[in-house]
Chain A
Amino acid sequence: MNELPLAGIRVADFGWIFAVPHTTSWLGALGADVIRIESPKRPDLVRFLGGTDGKIGINRSGLFHSINFSKRSIALDLTNAAGAEVARRLVGISDIAIENFGTGVMTRFGLDYENLRAVKPDIIMMSGTPLGQTGPLSGAIGYGPNSLAFSGISHLTGYPGGEPSGIGGTWPDFVVGVVMAMGVLAALHYRDRTGQGQYLDLSIAEMVTGMLPEAMLDFFLNGREQNPIGNRDPDIAPHGVFPVAGDDRWIAIVTVSDAEFASLCEVLEAPRLCADPRFQTMAARLQNVAELERELGELTRRFEAGDLIAKLRARGIATGPTYNTAELLADPAMVESGMNVEVDHQEVGRRVIPGLPVAFSAFRPNYFGGPALGQHTDEVLTQVLGYSAAEVARLRESGAVL
C-alpha cells in the first residue's frame, strides 16, 4: 500500500456541528494531520447529542464520533487573545484552515483570511455559512436544514399538491461536507502548481439551489414555476415507493420502458394491468400516474418485501427496500462494503463508525476514533507548535489553553 495521498498536509479545523467536521474527517482519513480547535467554554453541541450506553457525556456521543474520526483535538479559548495567538501559530504551519461559524466570528477572533494570510501567505481558507460571506443577508444565521427553506428545495420536496417537506439525513449538511472537501483539495491542487493560496466562500443555500437545475432552468428558460411531484419523475412511470406486506413496509420500483413495465405486471401476476390502455405506453402511464400508483399499490401489498425485490431484480428492474438505519446496517452488502469501521475511543472504547463511502485501489484510509475534547492539547502544543511545557502551563493558567 502506498503512502496516504494527503500525508504531510496539515489542517487547522475550526469547524463544528455537522458539515465541516465531516469534511475534515475525510481529510484526516486520507492522511492529513487534522487538528480540531475546540472550546470547553462553548463546546460543539453535537458532543451532547446522544450518548453511549444510556449515559450522556462530552466524550460519549456516537453522533460526534461518526463525523469526527481521524483527527486530533486541542482545547483553546479563541475569545482570549493568547488563545487566538496559539491558533494563528497553528495556521502558520498549516496548509488549510476551515470553518463554519457565523459570518464575522472569525474576524472577531482575529482569525479572518487577511489575518491568516499574514501568518501563512499561501494558506487555503474555506468558510461555509447559510448564505455566504457577502451580500445584504450574509449575516443571517441558521443550521443547514434551515437553509433548505431559502434554497427552493423545501418548496419542491413534498407530495404532489402537498406542503413543503423537510429532508432526512440532516440534509444538506453532509453534502456540504463533501463539497467543501472538494473545494479545499481543488485549491490545494492550484497551490501545488502556482504556490498561491486563496479563500473559498461556500453558501449552503446556493449549493443546494445549484442541485435544482430542472426547476431553476424551467423558470429561466420557460418562466414556469415548478411545484412538488413527490417520488415521481417527469419522464418515467411508475417511479415510486409502494407498500408491501406488513405495517409501514415499503419498496421503491422504477421501470424505464414498456417492456420493463410488462415484466413488472408479470411479477405482480396482473396481466390485465399491462393490457389496460391507460397504462400501455410510457406516455399513457405518465398521463394516468395517480391511478397507476393506486393499482400497483393494491398489488404490491400482497407480497413480502424480500420476495418481491428478488423477483423484480431477477427481471432487471430497479428496486430496493426503504430501510431504517438498523435494517441498513444488517444488509449483507452493507456489511461487506468496508464502510463500517471499528475504532477506539478514549472514554467509550471500541465502536463501529461509518467510514468514507468511497474505495481507493491504491491505499486504505487511516481510521482512528474521534477525540475526547482537548485530548491532544499538550501533544500538539509541544510537539507540533514547539511550546515548552512551562509555556503551556502559563497559557493554561491564563485561560488561553483549556
Chain B
Amino acid sequence: MDNSQSPGALDDLKVVELPMLDPMPFFAASMAGKSMADLGAEVIKVEPPQTGAQDRHFGPVGRGGPELETRALHLFLDCNKLSVTLDIGNAKGRDLLMRILAGADVVFNPNPPALNDRLGLGWRALCDRFPRLIVVSTTFFGTDSRYRDFRGGDLVATQMSGVGFETPFNQVTDPPNQPPLKAAERQADYLTGYTAGTATMVALQGRKRSGRGQHVDVSQWLAMVSTIRVNVGELTHDSPKSGMHRRLFVRRKTNAGWIYPCQDGFISFRTSPGNFWEGAVRMLGTPQWTQEPIFATETLRLKNSDALDALLTSWFMEHTKEDIFERAQRHGVPCFPLYNVREVAENRQYKARDFFQDCEHPVAGRFKIPGPPYIMSRTPGRIRRPAPRLGEHNVMIFCERLGIGRNELDAMQSQGVI
C-alpha cells in the first residue's frame, strides 16, 4: 500500500518531548511522543547537547556509525521526530525552551517534580505561562504521590504493581529459585507512554471545549496497576481466588501460562470455556480418553487438569506448532504457535499486512522497524522521516522558526547551550 501522501490524524499538533535528566532509563515520554509522531504530529525531541537523549544510550547498537546515531531504541522511538539540542539546566537554554513551548500544544516531561520546580519547569508554572498548553508529566510515581521523589522504572513498577507477582504466570514450581519476573524489554515504560498518549488526546478534546490546556499526571506505577484491575475487583467483591498466591497453580505444570510444549517448540492453547473443549476433542480425532467421565464437564476438567494436560501434551509432542495451530484454528480452538524472534520477523501474516516497515537512515542504513499498533484506514501511521541525528533540526527550529541569527546560534553552541 502506498501511504506516502496520506494525511496524519494529528497533522495539526505540535508536541515537545523533554529529556529524562536522571540516569535511570525511562522511555515513557519517548513512547508518548512516538505514539503521536507516528500519527503525524510534529514532535520536537529536546536533547542534552553532546550526549543526546537516553534513547541514544540503550539497546542494541546497529552498524555504520557512531553509537549515538545507531542504537535500536533511538532508531525506533525517535523515528518521525525532530531533534534539537538544548541544555535545560542552563537559564539561556530554558529561555529558548520557553520560546519553543509558546508554539506547542503538548509537552511531555519525564522529570521528577523537585527537579522541575528547581528549573522553573513545574507544571503549575508552565500551565500559568501557556494557558493552552497541555502539560503531561510522565513520572515514576506521579507528581502528587508521597513517593514522588523516589526512583522507579520498568522493574520497580512491574513489581510494585502486582504484575511481577503473577509472572511467570502459573509456572512457579520452585519459589526460592524463581523470583518474581518482569516481562521482556521495557513494557512498563511503553505502557506508560501509551497511557500518556491516550490521556493527551482526552485533554485535547477538553481544550476544544474550554479553550484551555491542563496538567495531565501519568504515573508509571499506576499505569501498571491498571493492568491488574480485575484482581482489584475480585478482591473488593469476594474472597479472591487469584493474584494472592504465587504458587496457587503450582500443580499445573504443563499448561503453565497457557503454554504447552510440542514437537518443535511451544504453543499457546486453551480448552476452556466449554465450547473450545468440544473443538479440541474433534481436533484430536476424538480419542477414547476424551470421553472419560473425569473430563465430562469443565469443572471436572479443571479438577483433573494434571491428567488432561499430560494427555494433551503427549499428543502435542507428536505434532509441530504450525500443524497444531492450523488444526486447532480449523476447529475453532484458541491456539497460536509460540514464535522466536526470527519467526516473528518472517511470519506471513505480518508480511501480508506490511507490519514491518522499511526505514532508510543516513547513518544506520536500511532496516525494518515495527509499524504502529493499529491501521487507520484514512490516516495510516507511517514513516515520514527516520530518527534524526543529534541536533539535526537546530537550524530549522532555532533560526528559521524562532528567528535566531546564525551568529547567535554559533555563540550558543560554543557556550554549550545548544
Contacts and interface: CB of A to CB of B under 8 A. Distances in A.
Given A139-B329, A357-B195, A231 B181 contact: yes
B82 to A, nearest CB: 20
A186 B418 CA distance: 33
Given A136-B352, A209-B355, A322-B159, A141 B63 contact: no
29 contacts: A5-B202, A9-B205, A50-B234, A62-B238, A63-B233, A66-B233, A141-B333, A149-B267, A152-B340, A157-B183, A167-B166, A167-B257, A171-B187, A186-B39, A189-B10, A190-B7, A211-B187, A218-B72, A222-B62, A224-B60, A225-B340, A254-B153, A322-B160, A326-B244, A331-B160, A353-B233, A357-B222, A359-B142, A361-B216
B88 interface: no
Given A51-B238, A169-B162, A361-B127, 4 more contacts: A146-B269, A174-B229, A189-B204, A333-B145
B228 interface: yes
A165 B329 CA distance: 22
A363 interface: yes
A248 B176 CA distance: 7
B405 interface: no
Given A149-B338, A203-B353, A235-B58, A360 B199 contact: yes
If over half of B's interface residues share one DSSP class (helix, strand or loop), that class is named, otherwise mixed; here it is mixed
B51 interface: no
B387 to A, nearest CB: 11
A245 interface: no
Assign chain A's interface to a size class: 35 or more
Contacts of A241: 155, 159, 164, 179-182
B198 A323 contact: no
Interface stretch (B288-296, B311-319, B371-379, B391-399): B371-379
Nearest to B189: A211
A219 interface: yes
A215 interface: yes
B176 A169 contact: no
B118 interface: no
B234 A214 contact: no
A110 interface: no
Contacts of B342: 219, 225
Contact of B164 (A313, A322, A348): A322
A149 B268 contact: yes
Given A66-B232, A325-B240, A363-B206, A221 B155 contact: no
A154 B152 CA distance: 24
B218 A221 contact: no
B162 A325 contact: yes
A216 B217 CA distance: 31
A213 B209 contact: no
Assign chain B's interface to a size class: 35 or more
A132 interface: yes
A177 to B, nearest CB: 9
Given A143-B270, A329-B235, A357-B223, A196 B378 contact: yes
Contact of B233 (A7, A215, A354, A359): A354
A126 interface: yes
A51 B235 CA distance: 10
Interface stretch (A53-61, A84-92, A390-398): A53-61
A126 B163 CA distance: 28
B25 A236 contact: yes
Contacts of A222: 60, 62-63
Interface in B233-252: 233-241, 243-247
A180 interface: yes
Contacts of B372: 210
A70 interface: no
Nearest to A359: B217
A200 B375 contact: yes
Interface stretch (B91-99, B302-310, B362-370, B407-415): B362-370
Residue from A178, A187, A218 having most chain B Cβ neighbours under 10 A? A178
Nearest to A29: B202
Interface in B340-386: 340-345, 347-350, 352-353, 355-356, 364, 367-379
B235 A198 contact: no
Contacts of B334: 141-143, 146
Contact of A207 (B150, B180, B223, B374): B374
Nearest to B137: A359
Contact of A166 (B7, B256, B325): B256
A179 to B, nearest CB: 5
B259 interface: yes
B205 A206 contact: no
A169 B237 contact: no
A167 B336 contact: no
B66 interface: no
A181 B198 contact: yes
Give the 7 A-B CB pairs with smallest separation, nearest first.
A166-B257, A168-B166, A62-B237, A66-B233, A166-B169, A5-B206, A156-B184
